[in-house]
Amino acid sequence: MKIFLDTSEVDVISKHCESGLIDGVTTNPTLMMQAGRDPIDVIKDISALFPDDSSISAEVVADTAEEMISQAKQYYSISSNITIKVPCTEEGLKACKFLSDKDIPVNVTLIFSTTQAILCAKAGAKYVSPFIGRCEDNGLSGIGLIESIRTIYDRSNIGHPPEILAASIRTTDHVTNAFIAGTDIVTLPPSILKEMYKHALTDQGIDQFDKDWKLVNHK
């Protein structure tokens, strides 16, 4: 059971790393550019926060496998904890096969069907990222997709099937249900992680403890 943060904000990631509960990060180059930063510099900063056996997904943006592979080299040369993120397209899977054959971990993103997940496994992907929220936006069951992928991977004769990395997490229920369905990892925005800590009964209990403590000290 692993939790990744889905953000490119280095300061936010650094703060949450202090908890010791974060296992990796997935990033978005568009957000990095909007923030006025070079994606390579951002990935270097994030990578430095995590041990070598973690996973920091760095996304390549290109039309052809050759271009994706070229971009990928800029990232995986940074550290052994870098995972290359490619889209689930024909060109993306070509790039995945090439990189995975060189023992470079690949996260294939934008998964919306079990057939895509099957091709990812054939291409040697380390991770597959089904999008729960975006599935639901289009009348599909994101949780059902995870269940189906889990079943296929468990029943296949693949030696090392990809880890299922549930993405497009929008609620804490998505987190719970994704793990029940068999995901290995969830990647979620910091706002959802903060919600996971909270419960009204916990707050009530803390308030009562504080009141009791003040009464004891007053005596």
Q: Is 198 left (phi over 0), alpha (psi -120 to 50) or beta?
A: beta
Burial 194-211 (b: 16+ CB within 10 A, else e): eeeeeeeeeeeeeeeeee
Q: Is 72 left (phi over 0), alpha (psi -120 to 50) or beta?
A: alpha
DSSP structure class, residue 162: P
Which residues, other chains included, contact 83 with Cβ-Cβ below 8 Å and sequence gap of 6+?
24, 55, 56, 57, 58, 105, 106, 107, 126, 127
Q: Which amino acid is at 189?
A: P
d(CA 123, CA 119): 6
Catalytic residue among 15, 85, 102, 194: 85
Q: Which amino acid is at 130?
A: P
Phi, psi of 78 (to 5 degrees): -70, -50
d(CA 129, CA 146): 9
* Residue 85 annotated to the active site: yes
Active site residues: 85
